[in-house]
Amino acid sequence: MQDLPTANEIISVVSEFLREQILPELEGRKKFHALVAANALDIVVRELDKAPTDNSAEHKRLTTLLGSDGTLEDLNKELSDALRSGRLTLETEGLKEHLWTTTLAKLSVDQPKYSAFKKAQQEGRT
């Protein structure tokens, strides 16, 4: 067990530092890249918060859908193959719900401000 601050706290404060103290000093391309950098750190902060719960729920859904077990990556590869070959389809019980839930979980980490994600929230899909 590491001591405090937590990884999340460290990344949060670096992002804050970039936004509040570095960004105002920069211009042009450098300013743009610093903003991209701060946004990238914020992705990590959200991922550290959400991934453990989201990933274990995703794993559980996948084992049920596929009837097999393995790492999250193995299972996603298996799902990919099954969807491409048509072995599993949108008609498959629980499949559509799984894809929506998984995609929304990814967006909530990657790009929670994305228009389609906000629309899904408004529609109560999350």
Binding site for another protein (CB under 8 A): 32-33, 36-37, 39-40, 43, 73, 76-77, 79-81, 83-86, 89-90, 96, 99-100, 102-104, 106-107, 110-111, 114-117, 119-120
Residue 22 C-beta: closest distance to another protein, Å: 13
Distance CA 24, CA 30 (A): 11
Distance CA 108, CA 40 (A): 13
Q: What does the block give as tokens for 81? A: 């193959």
Residue 52 C-beta: closest distance to another protein, Å: 18
Distance CA 34, CA 102 (A): 30
Nearer of residues 24 and 86 to another protein, judged by Cβ? 86
